[in-house]
Protein backbone atom coordinates (compact mmCIF):
# COMPACT_ATOMS: atom_id res chain seq x y z
CA UNK A 1 0.00 0.00 0.00
CA UNK A 2 1.15 3.49 -0.78
CA UNK A 3 0.95 6.72 1.15
CA UNK A 4 -1.77 8.75 -0.57
CA UNK A 5 -3.44 12.11 -0.18
CA UNK A 6 -7.18 12.52 -0.56
CA UNK A 7 -9.67 15.38 -0.50
CA UNK A 8 -12.47 15.63 2.06
CA UNK A 9 -15.37 18.00 2.79
CA UNK A 10 -17.32 18.37 6.01
CA UNK A 11 -20.65 19.43 4.49
CA UNK A 12 -22.98 22.24 5.72
CA UNK A 13 -25.23 19.88 7.71
CA UNK A 14 -22.31 18.58 9.78
CA UNK A 15 -20.85 22.07 10.36
CA UNK A 16 -24.30 23.33 11.52
CA UNK A 17 -24.67 20.36 13.87
CA UNK A 18 -21.26 20.87 15.58
CA UNK A 19 -19.78 17.66 14.19
CA UNK A 20 -16.41 18.98 12.94
CA UNK A 21 -14.48 17.68 15.94
CA UNK A 22 -16.24 14.31 15.99
CA UNK A 23 -15.41 13.79 12.31
CA UNK A 24 -11.79 14.92 12.67
CA UNK A 25 -11.44 12.51 15.60
CA UNK A 26 -12.42 9.64 13.29
CA UNK A 27 -9.89 10.65 10.61
CA UNK A 28 -7.10 10.85 13.17
CA UNK A 29 -8.08 7.63 14.95
CA UNK A 30 -7.85 5.84 11.59
CA UNK A 31 -4.32 7.13 11.01
CA UNK A 32 -5.26 9.82 8.50
CA UNK A 33 -3.28 13.02 9.01
CA UNK A 34 -4.79 16.47 8.34
CA UNK A 35 -2.25 18.17 6.08
CA UNK A 36 -4.41 21.10 4.82
CA UNK A 37 -7.58 22.63 6.30
CA UNK A 38 -9.91 25.59 5.69
CA UNK A 39 -13.49 26.77 6.29
CA UNK A 40 -15.18 28.32 3.26
CA UNK A 41 -18.62 28.91 1.76
CA UNK A 42 -19.20 27.71 -1.79
CA UNK A 43 -21.02 29.87 -4.31
CA UNK A 44 -23.18 28.25 -7.00
CA UNK A 45 -20.41 28.33 -9.64
CA UNK A 46 -17.78 26.76 -7.39
CA UNK A 47 -20.21 24.02 -6.23
CA UNK A 48 -21.39 23.37 -9.81
CA UNK A 49 -17.80 22.97 -10.99
CA UNK A 50 -17.02 20.59 -8.18
CA UNK A 51 -20.03 18.35 -8.90
CA UNK A 52 -19.93 18.70 -12.72
CA UNK A 53 -19.84 14.89 -13.10
CA UNK A 54 -23.41 14.78 -11.72
CA UNK A 55 -24.86 17.51 -14.01
CA UNK A 56 -28.25 16.38 -15.33
CA UNK A 57 -28.96 13.89 -12.55
CA UNK A 58 -32.23 14.48 -10.65
CA UNK A 59 -30.40 15.13 -7.37
CA UNK A 60 -27.96 17.66 -8.91
CA UNK A 61 -29.76 20.98 -8.30
CA UNK A 62 -30.84 20.24 -4.71
CA UNK A 63 -27.27 19.02 -4.08
CA UNK A 64 -25.86 22.37 -5.27
CA UNK A 65 -28.41 24.29 -3.14
CA UNK A 66 -27.48 22.20 -0.10
CA UNK A 67 -23.73 22.54 -0.62
CA UNK A 68 -24.04 26.36 -0.84
CA UNK A 69 -26.40 26.63 2.16
CA UNK A 70 -23.70 27.31 4.76
CA UNK A 71 -20.00 27.05 5.52
CA UNK A 72 -18.09 23.86 4.86
CA UNK A 73 -14.68 22.66 6.00
CA UNK A 74 -12.35 21.33 3.30
CA UNK A 75 -9.29 19.26 4.09
CA UNK A 76 -6.55 17.12 2.62
CA UNK A 77 -5.90 13.82 4.40
CA UNK A 78 -2.69 11.85 4.09
CA UNK A 79 -1.96 8.25 5.05
CA UNK A 80 -1.54 4.67 3.90
CA UNK A 81 -4.27 3.89 1.41
CA UNK A 82 -5.92 7.21 2.32
CA UNK A 83 -8.43 7.32 -0.55
CA UNK A 84 -10.09 3.96 0.19
CA UNK A 85 -9.63 4.33 3.95
CA UNK A 86 -11.48 7.65 3.98
CA UNK A 87 -14.32 6.19 1.89
CA UNK A 88 -14.53 3.31 4.37
CA UNK A 89 -14.71 5.63 7.38
CA UNK A 90 -17.38 7.73 5.60
CA UNK A 91 -19.66 4.79 4.76
CA UNK A 92 -21.94 4.41 1.75
CA UNK A 93 -23.61 7.41 0.07
CA UNK A 94 -27.00 6.24 1.37
CA UNK A 95 -26.67 6.39 5.17
CA UNK A 96 -29.28 3.63 5.53
CA UNK A 97 -26.90 1.24 3.73
CA UNK A 98 -23.75 2.43 5.50
CA UNK A 99 -21.97 0.14 8.00
CA UNK A 100 -22.63 0.96 11.67
CA UNK A 101 -19.75 3.01 13.06
CA UNK A 102 -19.20 4.95 9.83
CA UNK A 103 -19.67 8.73 9.75
CA UNK A 104 -22.72 8.54 7.50
CA UNK A 105 -24.40 5.71 9.43
CA UNK A 106 -23.90 7.55 12.70
CA UNK A 107 -24.54 11.18 11.66
CA UNK A 108 -26.25 11.55 8.24
CA UNK A 109 -29.88 12.68 8.18
CA UNK A 110 -30.69 11.90 4.53
CA UNK A 111 -29.05 10.65 1.32
CA UNK A 112 -28.36 14.28 0.40
CA UNK A 113 -27.40 15.56 3.84
CA UNK A 114 -24.73 12.97 4.46
CA UNK A 115 -22.12 15.03 6.32
CA UNK A 116 -19.00 14.29 4.29
CA UNK A 117 -17.45 14.08 0.83
CA UNK A 118 -14.37 12.01 -0.01
CA UNK A 119 -12.49 11.54 -3.29
CA UNK A 120 -13.16 8.17 -4.96
CA UNK A 121 -9.93 7.69 -7.01
CA UNK A 122 -6.36 8.92 -7.38
CA UNK A 123 -7.44 11.07 -10.33
CA UNK A 124 -10.38 12.68 -8.51
CA UNK A 125 -8.24 13.25 -5.40
CA UNK A 126 -5.66 15.16 -7.47
CA UNK A 127 -8.32 17.20 -9.26
CA UNK A 128 -10.32 17.97 -6.11
CA UNK A 129 -7.28 18.94 -4.01
CA UNK A 130 -6.16 21.34 -6.75
CA UNK A 131 -9.70 22.77 -7.00
CA UNK A 132 -9.50 24.02 -3.39
CA UNK A 133 -5.85 24.26 -2.35
CA UNK A 134 -2.68 25.78 -3.73
CA UNK A 135 0.58 23.86 -3.28
CA UNK A 136 1.78 26.20 -0.50
CA UNK A 137 -1.33 25.48 1.61
CA UNK A 138 -0.61 21.73 1.77
CA UNK A 139 1.74 20.40 4.47
CA UNK A 140 1.92 16.82 3.21
CA UNK A 141 5.10 14.81 3.56
CA UNK A 142 6.46 13.98 0.10
CA UNK A 143 5.47 10.43 -0.88
P1 LIG B 1 -20.51 10.09 -2.76
O2 LIG B 1 -20.67 11.43 -2.06
O3 LIG B 1 -20.69 8.93 -1.83
O4 LIG B 1 -19.26 10.01 -3.59
P5 LIG B 1 -21.95 10.50 -5.27
O6 LIG B 1 -20.68 11.02 -5.83
O7 LIG B 1 -22.67 9.43 -6.03
O8 LIG B 1 -21.76 9.97 -3.77
O9 LIG B 1 -22.99 11.69 -5.10
C10 LIG B 1 -22.55 12.97 -4.62
C11 LIG B 1 -23.55 13.45 -3.61
O12 LIG B 1 -24.81 13.68 -4.24
C13 LIG B 1 -23.85 12.48 -2.46
O14 LIG B 1 -22.92 12.56 -1.41
C15 LIG B 1 -25.22 12.93 -2.05
C16 LIG B 1 -25.86 13.35 -3.35
N17 LIG B 1 -26.66 12.26 -3.92
C18 LIG B 1 -26.20 11.18 -4.62
N19 LIG B 1 -27.20 10.36 -4.96
C20 LIG B 1 -28.32 10.92 -4.46
C21 LIG B 1 -29.71 10.58 -4.46
N22 LIG B 1 -30.15 9.45 -5.05
N23 LIG B 1 -30.58 11.40 -3.83
C24 LIG B 1 -30.16 12.55 -3.24
N25 LIG B 1 -28.88 12.95 -3.19
C26 LIG B 1 -27.97 12.15 -3.80
MG1 LIG C 1 -18.69 11.02 -5.29
Please name which ligand lies nearest the alpha carbon of 13: 1
Residue 67 has pLDDT above 60, yes or no: yes
Catalytic residues: 117
Question: Does residue 87's CB lie within 6 angstroms of at least one atom of ligand 1?
Answer: no
CB 4 within 8 A of CB 29: no
CA distance 15 to 4: 26
The Å distance, Cα 111 to ligand 1 centre, comes to 7
| pTM > 0.95: yes or no | yes
pLDDT digits (tens, 9 = 90+) for 5-26: 999 999 999 999 999 999 999 9
- Average the pLDDT over 33-61 and give the result: 98
Q: pLDDT band at 52, cuts 50/70/90? A: very high
Residue nearest to atom 8 of ligand 1 (CA): 93
Can you tell me which atom of ligand 1 is nearest the CA of 51? 10
For the chain, what percentages of helix, strand and coil (3-state, to nearest 5) are there?
Answer: 45, 20, 35
Q: Is 3 exposed, middle or buried (0-12, 13-18, 19+ CB in 10 A)?
A: middle
Cα separations in angstroms, 110 against 81, 87, 116 = 28, 18, 12
Amino acid sequence: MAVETTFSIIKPDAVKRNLIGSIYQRFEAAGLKLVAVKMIQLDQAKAAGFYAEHLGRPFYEPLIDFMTSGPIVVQVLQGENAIAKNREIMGKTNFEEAEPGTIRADFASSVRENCVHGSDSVESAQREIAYFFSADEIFAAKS
